[in-house]
Amino acid sequence: MRRRKFLALMGAAGVGLALGKTPAHAASNAHFEGYPDAKAVLFDATRCIGCRKCEEACNKVNKLPAPAKPFTDLTVLDTERRTSAKAHTVVNKYMPAGAKGPVFRKIQCNHCQEPACASACFVRAFKKNPDGSVTYDASVCVGCRYCIMACPFNVPTYEYDEPLTPRVMKCTMCHPQITAGELNMPGCVGACPKEALAYGKRSDLLKIAHARIATFPDRYVDHVYGEREMGGTNWLYLSGVPFKELGMREDLGVTSAPEMTSGALTVVPMVAALWPALLGGIWAISKSNEKTADKERMEAVKAAIDSNQAANDAKLAKFKEQAEKDKADSIEREVKKALEEAAAAAKEEEGA
Amino acid sequence: MKARPLLRWAGILCVFAAVSVYCIEARGSGEPKAPAAEQADIILIDDMSAYGKLELPPVAFAHDKHTDALKKAGKDCTACHKQENGKLVLKFMRVADGDAQAMKTVYHDNCIGCHAQTAAKGQKTGPQDGQCRSCHNPKAAAGKQLDMGFTNVLHFRHAESKDIASPTGDKDNCGRCHHEYDKAAKKTVWAKGKEGTCRYCHLDKPVKDAALGVEVKSFRQAAHNDCVTCHQTMEQKKQASGPVLCKGCHGAEGQKAIRANDKKALEKVGELPRMKRGQPDAAVIAVNVDKAQAASGAKVYAMRPVPFDHKAHEQANDTCRSCHHKSLDSCTKCHTVQGTKESDFVTLETAMHGMASSRSCLGCHQTKQADPKCAGCHTSADKTRKASTESCRKCHAEPVQGLPALDPAALSGMKIADEKPLAEPYLTGRKMEAQIYALDDIPDKVTIKVLADEYEPSELPHRKIVMTLLKNMKDDKLAGYFHSDMGAVCQGCHHNSPASKTPPSCASCHAKPFSPNEPGRPGLKAAYHDQCMGCHKAMKLEKPVATDCTNGCHKPRKK
């Protein structure tokens, strides 16, 4: 078999597997709907006043370096920012058309129920904890930064200025501090003067969010962002203006990142497992093909040789016969000649 | 020999350039160069779309520009509009629509014809034959025509005008505009005492009335036909008149001028006189009760009737249509307890209390709460909450010793004029001013020490706030009446507990945030910030800025 043909065969097999229905997901065989008692945070954009107290609290709780401009300086809000290795959360100001004034939105890790970062990480540095948080283990990280590429919300950041031990940095939902008993809710939530952030069980917060919409239908967009986006997140959002206006992606769909890649990815171990057998089989087939061909050739040669032999023998026999006949003829001729000569000599002698 | 081809190329280029310039000019938009969206007179002529897909884009037509130009040329409306029964037909150069080809011909022949004639005279004019895209411009859009409401003041100005004589010689002008169709006489006649607003009969689209055997004009047709034609004839007679140009009624400037004249007219008379339509000063709104059932001695279960101050509501609203949306009959005629076909099965309860409609009592009162003076307390209030018993009683009158009894059975079918003596004693007995406790009982300053670990205690100017709220309600009958119970004003902040001179402190309900037992209740810190900031924002109070902690309510903590 030629190499090109082989590769085409393999490709077809892979596509067939990927296209087939795969109930198995990357992480497990069951559809994961989130840990039942997972905590979450509900952000309500209609309550946020853009005071940056959450940013300040996050900085303090996570012992991050002091920023260039103090947290009381609200001119920072005039430029749109994103999270960085030194700021796990930032608040941005938006001026949506039709809104009465500025609307603020807090950015941080959304703690997906099925995190894309975790599914992209091949050393399992990311972990979805039963408390809803997604945390990172720097000790196993190899620094490939696939997680940064995978995140649909552009959240994880990298310590590029750390030459020896750079880490991926992002919000932890204060998982370490809460586990250690230092805090009873994430630092940002506790600092919010308006309860624009609420911390509690995800299932409870969803009820609260929908209750707020039902109570003030003209104040809210009838949608809880994060309830289903990317398979659901543990950071939920309410807003009075379309989420698009707050720089939030509305094109993400409701399927989690691992679910989307599971079909193709399930093929990977299968291909790895099947390769020896497949290659062996192909080798065996080609080998046996070769063998048969050899045998056939030998037989053909033999047959050819055999049939030639017979013909030659016949020819030889004919030649022999001819030769013998010639020989006999020549002997006869010679005998005759000798007899004639003898007769002539006798005649001469008689004559003489 | 060598220069010849160069010359030829130069010639070709010149011709090409000339053709290009001409074509670009032809494609360029001639008319709507000004900010078209702002102009009230730009209408989109898309009549042809009724005949199928348009071959070319609809035409944006500047009506006022043409009116002005024709006036200067000594022509009037008949240059473009035919007349029928002495009134202008609103359609262009025709009485009725023909087929597609005929329509196209009407527009092309008359528009281009007139432009050509004007051009022949050497005057400035519009696009000519061949300049298709100058009119059929794909970028063309209609201007913005503001709705023109005929308010009570404007009605008064027309009703009192000496220039508008009634056709029957009556002392009132009503018959000049108000009419109904007389089938026998085959014309519109004035039905005295049966006047209603135009929109009751003239709907959004023309409607064939089978009973009358005529097509009832759309509101748009009726209003332009009657208003503009009348204004125009008045103007021709050199009399004071209303607007004849589009922008006069539908442009921002024109409307401003009308309001200014309204104001002048009001200043002259002091208080706006009421309309002369025989409407009641006061009425009683009651559930219709089955008379036979009541007479049989069976107990009648119905909400207590509502004494209604019709006169006060007339003055507080711009038009009768604010409440009377279908006819000037009483609400209970169509809106019965169960609803009727005429009411689209909107029940009496919904008609009076529905929050979704600005015509219902509560719906309209709610829109008044959007006023920044009121919004501080009223926007934060949960609108889905059941109204309290006290607030029901504000309208559904409790029986009062010595006043006539309001019996639903007796009121059913009663003449509206007979309801006045029943309603008036209740209305005159109402307290119409907001009440507060004695000044000494209202704390002057309230010190809040909740954030004492970060800041010095905050001082809330409590009495100043109460007095400001009270001042805001002065001279407002609606606000006055609904805050006339002692403690009602206080409940804007001291909510969810009974009105009292000594309401419980905020901390007695608001403690820990996100208590699983009370998931919707904010913690104390958020409760304070929400209440103060929410109110300041809704009342459009600029200072203090919500994010300016230490210059606003909190002082930095002394070390």
> What is chain A's pLDDT, residue by residue, as a tens digit (352 residues)?
566 666 666 665 555 554 444 444 444 556 677 888 899 999 999 999 999 999 999 999 999 999 999 999 999 999 999 999 999 999 999 999 888 889 999 999 999 999 999 999 999 999 999 999 999 999 999 999 999 999 999 999 999 999 999 999 999 999 999 999 999 999 999 999 999 999 999 999 999 999 999 988 889 999 999 999 999 999 999 999 999 999 999 999 898 888 887 777 777 777 778 888 889 999 999 999 999 999 999 999 999 999 889 888 888 888 888 888 888 888 888 888 888 888 888 888 776 5
- The residues that bridge with B456 in the sheet, in sequence order, are B555
Nearest CB to B533; choose among A49, A74, A185 = A49
**Chain A residue with Cα closest to B526:** A194
Q: SS3 of B222, please?
A: helix
A211 in contact with B, Cβ within 8 Å: yes
Give the count of alpha carbons within 13 A of A5, CB side only: 3
Q: Which string of DSSP letters, residue by residue, matches A285-349?
A: HHHHHHHHHHHHHHHHHHHHHHHHHHHHHHHHHHHHHHHHHHHHHHHHHHHHHHHHHHHHHHHHH
pLDDT tens for B39-53 read 888 999 988 888 989
pLDDT value of residue B30: 46
Q: What ipTM describes this predicted complex? A: 0.71
User: CA-CA distance, B185 to A266, in Å (whole number)?
Assistant: 87
- The answer for A 156-195 residues in CB contact with B (under 8 A) is 185, 192-195
How many Å apart are CA A72 and CA B551, to the nearest integer? 12
Radius of gyration of chain A (CA): 45
Per-residue pLDDT, A26: 42
* pLDDT value of position B525: 92
Distances (CA, A) of B442 to A13, A287, B494: 83, 104, 13
Question: What confidence tier does B218 reach under pLDDT thresholds 50, 70, 90?
Answer: very high
Asked if pLDDT for residue B371 goes beyond 80, the answer is yes
Task: Say yes or no to pLDDT of B558 above 60.
Answer: yes
**Which one, of B501, B302, B480, lies nearest residue B407 by Cα?**
B302
B536 interfaces chain A, CB cutoff of 8 Å: no
pLDDT of residue B281: 94
Question: Residues 6 or more apart from B489 whose CB is under 8 A from it?
Answer: B434, B435, B436, B466, B469, B470, B473, B483
DSSP string, B346-385: --HHHHHH-SS-TTSHHHHHHHHTTSHHHHHHHTTS-TTS
Min mean pLDDT across B3-12, B430-439, B450-459 is at: B3-12
Question: Checking DSSP bridges between strand B207-209 and strand A39-44, what pairing results, if any?
Answer: unpaired
- CB distance B516 to B528 below 8 Å: no
Q: How far apart are the first and last CA of chain B?
A: 101
Say yes or no for a CB contact (<8 Å) between B530 and A47.
Answer: yes
For the entire predicted model, the pTM comes to: 0.74
- More confident of the two residues A246 and B497: A246
Residue B28, pLDDT score: 46
Q: What angle do CA B247, B250, B253 make, to 5 degrees?
A: 60
- What whole-number distance in Å separates Cα of residue A15 and Cα of residue B521? 54
Q: How far B107 CA sits from the closest chain A CA (Å)?
A: 40
| DSSP per residue, A90-116 | EEEEE--TT-SS-EEEEES---BSS-H
Contact flag B523-A195 (C-beta cutoff 8 Å): yes
Neighboring chain B residues of A204 at a CB cutoff of 8 Å: 516, 519
Residue B385: per-residue pLDDT: 56
Find the range with the poorest average confidence among A65-79, B207-221, B502-516.
B502-516
The arithmetic mean of pLDDT across residues B407-419, rounded, is 87
Interatomic CA distance for residues B351 and B334, integer angstroms: 10
Rama region for A226: left / alpha / beta (φ>0; ψ in -120 to 50; rest): left
* Best residue in B547, B551, B553, B554 for a mutation probing chain A (most A CBs within 10 Å): B547
DSSP H/E element including B464 = helix B462-472
Q: Is A60 on the interface with B (CB under 8 A)?
A: no
Average pLDDT, chain B: 87
Contact A125, A227 (CB under 8 A): no
CA A191 to CA A177: how far, in whole Å? 15
CB contact under 8 A, B549 and A49: no
B520 has a chain A CB within 8 A of its CB: yes
Q: What percent of chain B lies above the pLDDT cut of 90? A: 46
| Cβ contact, residue pair B384, A74, below 8 Å | no
B341-350: per-residue pLDDT in tens?
Answer: 999 999 999 9
**Cβ of A200 and B530 within 8 Å?**
no
Q: How many angstroms separate the CA atoms of A69 and A71, rounded?
A: 7
CB–CB contact B530 A195 (8 Å)? yes
Residue A75 at interface with chain B, using a CB cutoff of 8 Å: no
What contacts 24+ positions apart, CB below 8 Å, involve A220-229?
Answer: A220/A46, A226/A110, A228/A254, A229/A253, A229/A254
Q: How far apart are CA A1 and CA B422, in angstroms?
A: 107
Of B382, B526, B549, the CB nearest to A194: B526
Answer whether B542 touches A (CB < 8 Å): no
Distance to chain B for A215, nearest Cα, Å: 6
Yes or no, beta carbons of B519 and A207 under 8 Å apart? yes
Reply yes or no: is the peptide bond before residue B544 cis, omega within 30 of 0: yes
Query: Could you give the maximum distance between any two Cα atoms of chain A, in Å?
Result: 168
Q: Mean per-residue pLDDT for B56-64?
A: 92
For residue range B241-281, list pLDDT tens digits in order.
899 999 999 999 999 999 999 999 999 998 899 998 889 99
Residue B236's contacts (CB-CB under 8 Å, 6 or more residues apart) are: none
Q: Is B74 on the interface with A (CB under 8 A)?
A: no
Whether the Cβ atoms of residue B254 and residue B248 lie closer than 8 Å to each other: yes
Out of B514, B522, B546, closest to residue A200 by CB: B514
Say how many CB pairs under 8 Å bridge A and B.
Answer: 45
Q: B526 and A195 in contact by Cβ < 8 A?
A: yes
Do residues B360 and B349 make contact, with C-beta atoms less than 8 angstroms apart? no
CB-nearest to A215 from B384, B522, B549 is B384
* Residue burial B240-262, b: 16+ Cβ < 10 Å; e: rest: ebbbbbbbbbbbeebbeebeeeb
Q: What is the rounded CA–CA span in Å between residue B467 and residue B490?
A: 11
**B319 min Cα distance to partner chain A (Å):** 27
What are the φ/ψ torsions at residue A198 (nearest 5 degrees)? -130, 140
Top residue of B358, B514, B542 to mutate, by most chain A CBs within 10 Å, is: B514
Evaluate whether A177 touches A187 at the Cβ level (below 8 Å). yes
CB contact under 8 A, A74 and B547: yes
Check residues A110 and B387 and name the one with the higher pLDDT. Answer: A110
Contact by Cβ (8 Å): A133, A269: no
**Which of B384, B516, B547 has the CB atom closest to A204's CB atom?**
B516
Minimal CA–CA distance to B549: which of B454, B462, B465, B460? B454
Summarize the confidence of residues B448-461 as an average pLDDT: 90
CA distance A178 to A186: 7
Q: In chain A, what residues touch B382 (CB-CB under 8 Å)?
A: 215-216
- Supply the pLDDT for residue B419: 92
Find all residues with CB under 8 Å of A281, minimum gap 6, and list them: none
Distance, CA of B541 to CA of B533 (rounded, Å): 9
DSSP SS3 for B289? coil
Residues recorded for chain A: 352
Contact at 8 Å (CB) between A96 and A237? no
pLDDT tens per residue across span B66-102: 999 998 888 888 899 998 877 788 889 998 888 889 9
pLDDT in the model for residue A69: 94
